[in-house]
Amino acid sequence: MRSAYSRQFALVAGLILSSFLLLGASFATLSYRYTMDAQMNTLEDTAEFIGEFTANYRAQGMDIRSEGFRAYIFSLAKISKAHVLLCETSGEIVYSADGQGKGTLNDLVGQRLPAVVTQRVLGEGEYHRHGNLGGVYSESRYIAGVPIVIHTSGKDNTIGMAFVSTASDDLTQLWRQLSGIFVVAAVAVGMVAFVFTSVTTKRQTRPLKEMAETVREFGHGDFDKRMSPTQTGRPDEMGELARAFNAMADSLAKAEAQRSEFIANVSHELKTPMTTISGFADGILDGTVPPEREAAALETISSETKRLARLVRRMLDLSRLQSGEGITAQEQFDAVELTARALVSLEGKISAKGLDVVVDLPEEPVLVWGEPDAITQVCYNLLDNAIKFAHEGGHLWVSIRREGAKALVTVKDEGATIPPEELDSIFDRFHKSDKSRSMDRDGVGLGLYIVKTILNEHRENITVESAEGLTTFTFSLTLA
């Protein structure tokens, strides 16, 4: 399996190579064309200058066979490093010079240019080609030619032709030198690019390797492993990913701790009633419990069995809520009617404790959005919790009020004050104010957790305040 580093490096390296190849091909084409065009322009300018100089020389009645004229033309050929040919209008070569240091080319003097070359120069006024000038040269050359014209009495009189040429190898050599410079520069830049790509690719893939190692540690049960500060401190997307990964790791560690705590709590909750049931049942069977106390023992067994049933039922409710099955599609309902029904269903418990209930519910319906059965469970759990911890003969307050786009439902009881340090954990699973779990034998510590879970599913909030013997729970519902 190829690593992310190798794939990333191969991708970037391929892009760099492709870019250099495309750039090199473009440079080669454009530089060659530019070099050829520049050389042809130089040859044409030189040919025009020689033609004008020859025309002026002849116009003054001077002989082009003179040493001074030939020395000057040879100097021009020497400077331009080119061959110079002077021809009659008939195409006969009368003078030639080699600017590459060979002096005159006497073997060309007396030869005649092909008629097609002569006609093109005299007819079109110019000639620029890459060839051998109709067989005059033994190799292909870049050639520019112009007519030699004397202006006399307002008339143009063509007296001959001037040709300037240079070897193809000279231009090719120049182009190769330019290409060589480009290749050297491209190789240097390419090497720097490859080194930079290797470094940056390793830097990009290092967090991924570290994450993979951390995940493997998670698989072995070690949830304390985190991404290093070097990665989380990066200001780019990788740093953001590393920070998100650490946040996920914190959540996993918290979830694992909660899972362990949940198992411990469930074990404790199940162990206590089961031990009691087993002890009294064995006592009745082996005669340890006297006959006159068997009824009381059976009542204890029945109470603990009901407690187990409540625990199992609450855990099933909790499991259903956490799996998303407890909240169906939301609908409109009357919060006043729902709260009143929950209050009526607990009338027996209220009467048993002699509580004075103060109800402040609007006369008109308060329509809200939610899942009625789930919100009914919220109201029931809060009222049941308030009744359970209210003092005998105390007060119980229930109210609903509108506030902006929300309806606020409040349940308040008169009883023991919840310590401030426990307010943050009161909605945790299996939380009980009595650490010995002996005062509240009817509760299992899941009621308020279920309330919080349901309201979270509805994206609603719940708050709790407890001071001077008054404990107040307030949760919100969205008005319809």
User: How does the average pLDDT of the chain come out, rounded?
Assistant: 82
Query: Do the Cβ atoms of 108 and 92 come closer than 8 Å?
Result: no
Angle at 441 between CA 440 and CA 446, to 5 degrees: 75
Greater model confidence, 327 or 232? 232
Helices 447-457 and 294-322, axial angle in degrees (round to 10): 20
- Taking only the tens place, the pLDDT of each residue in 254-288 is 777 767 766 776 776 677 678 888 888 888 888 88
Residue 138 per-residue DSSP state = S
SS3 141: strand
Q: What is the pLDDT of residues 338-363, one digit of tens each?
A: 999 999 888 888 999 999 999 999 99
Does residue 174 have a pLDDT over 70?
no
- Find the range with the poorest average confidence among 152-156, 315-319, 372-376: 315-319
Rounded average pLDDT over 9-15: 76
Q: Could you give the percent of the chain with pLDDT greater than 90?
A: 23
Kindly state the tokens that stand for 129. 């080609």
Secondary structure (3-state) at 360: strand
- pLDDT of res. 3: 65
Band (pLDDT 50/70/90 cuts) for residue 445 is: low
- Confidence (pLDDT) at 436: 35
pLDDT of residue 105: 52
Answer whether residue 224 shows pLDDT above 70.
yes
**In which band, very low, low, confident or very high, does the pLDDT at 334 lie, cut at 50, 70 and 90?**
very high
Q: What is the pLDDT of residue 104?
A: 46
Residue range 234-248: mean pLDDT, rounded: 78
Cα–Cα distance between 313 and 406 in angstroms, integer? 31
Torsion sign over Cα 387, 390, 392, 398 = negative
Distances (CA, A) of 415 to 20, 390, 434, 463, 475: 82, 4, 14, 18, 20
